[in-house]
Amino acid sequence: MQSLLKRFPGRYALTLLLVVLESAGWVFFPLFIGRAINSVLADSVRGLYELAALGIVTMGIAVVRRLVDSRAYGGIYTTLGEEMVARDTESSTSTRTARLGMLREIVEFFENSLPELIVSMVGLAGTVLILSALNFPIFIGCLIVTAATVTLYALTGKRITRYNEGLNDEHERRVDIVHSGNPARVARHLRRMMRWNIRLSDLEAATFGVNWLFMIALMVYSVSAAAERTVDYGTVFAVVMYVFEFMESMMMLPFHYQEWLRLREISGRLEAAGGDG
């Protein structure tokens, strides 16, 4: 995947810049909502104008970013797909078909999943930074939960990669197996696909459940700490909102991490095919 970034640096730089700007806008929403609440309670409308301005600017960036993304990544997929099919002439039709689909997954990752990952990362960093100013004990709690989550998923990384290797092996054989017309061979292939998917799903469910326990503990503690240490109603609301944003980001990051592991394995296959061609 690094080779794609080097191949099309201008397009990626533009789209990622727009993603970061959009993400920064979303990070400030709870703070501006809290300011608006305090402003209204103080018989002022200034906070409402600030909130409206933030919403308009952020939405404008989001619309422009999506218009740019569809054009940039569509062109990248077309260029790379044509090159791969022309270069990889020695592989079977089944393998080339599967790899074309894998290439599409990688491009879609940059177009759809990577922006979501950046939004989560920027949101996570911004949330933790703002919480450090609003409520330091909750900030420490977020750091502890972050360390626990990172450790949990680091311990499962090798197993996720191994399961994805088995699943992608089956994907590369699919067209040939179906083309053979042998019902027994097709049935064995489908059972193997099912087993790899079940293993991935079971591992994902187990790690998600453990991670959610971390988040529940943080949520319960944060509500209590916010109410005890904060005076303004708007600020209490902002703190609780930031904790929920932190939880959302931390629950989404593992899914992006798993997807990155899968696409890293796919990228290795495509690069190996390019070297063989």
Per-residue pLDDT of 186-232, as tens digits, reads: 888 888 888 888 888 888 888 888 888 998 999 888 888 877 766 67
Alpha helices, H only, 109-182: 114-134, 136-180
Least confident interval from 3-7, 163-167, 209-213? 3-7
Long-range CB contacts (within 8 A, 24+) of 175-178: 175/92, 175/93, 175/94, 175/97, 175/98, 176/92, 176/93, 176/94, 177/94
pLDDT above 60: residue 2 = no
pLDDT number for residue 220: 86
Which of the pair, 137 or 13, is modelled with greater confidence?
137
What mean pLDDT, rounded, does the chain reach? 79
Largest CA distance in the chain: 77
pLDDT number for residue 47: 86
Give the rounded percent of residues in the chain with a pLDDT score beyond 90. Answer: 5
Summarize pLDDT for 222-233 with one digit per residue, the tens.
Answer: 888 877 766 677
pLDDT above 60: residue 162 = yes
pTM for this model (two decimals): 0.63
pLDDT above 60: residue 175 = yes
Q: What are phi and psi of 118, to 5 degrees?
A: -65, -40
Summarize pLDDT for 15-71 with one digit per residue, the tens.
Answer: 888 888 888 888 888 888 888 888 888 888 888 999 999 999 988 988 888 888 777
- Please tell me the CATH code under which domain 2-161+202-276 is placed: 1.20.1560.10
Q: What are phi and psi of 173, to 5 degrees?
A: -95, -5
Nearest by Cα to 207 from 166, 246, 175, 159: 159
Supply 268's token pair. Answer: 């290795």
Give the confidence band of 270 by pLDDT, cuts at 50, 70, 90. Answer: low
pLDDT number for residue 276: 46
C-alpha 36/C-alpha 31 separation (Å) is 9
pLDDT number for residue 277: 40
Summarize pLDDT for 259-268 with one digit per residue, the tens.
Answer: 777 777 777 7
Summarize pLDDT for 64-92 with one digit per residue, the tens.
Answer: 888 887 777 777 767 766 666 666 666 66
C-alpha 89/C-alpha 96 separation (Å) is 8
219 CB contacts (<8 Å, ≥6 apart)?
243, 244, 247
Nearest by Cα to 66 from 119, 1, 22: 22
pLDDT number for residue 248: 82
Contact 218, 247 (CB under 8 A): yes
pLDDT above 70: residue 253 = yes
pLDDT number for residue 52: 92
Instruction: Indicate the Cα dihedral angle 34, 40, 45, 49, nearest 10°.
Output: 20
pLDDT number for residue 154: 85
Give the confidence band of 143 by pLDDT, cuts at 50, 70, 90. Answer: very high
pLDDT number for residue 176: 75
Sequence length of the chain is: 277
Supply 19's token pair. Answer: 């993603």
pLDDT above 70: residue 137 = yes
C-alpha 191/C-alpha 197 separation (Å) is 10
Q: What one-letter code names the amino acid at 38? A: N
- Alpha-carbon separation of residue 19 from 55, 64, 255, 266, 272 (angstroms): 15, 10, 19, 25, 31
- Give mean pLDDT, residues 137-158: 88
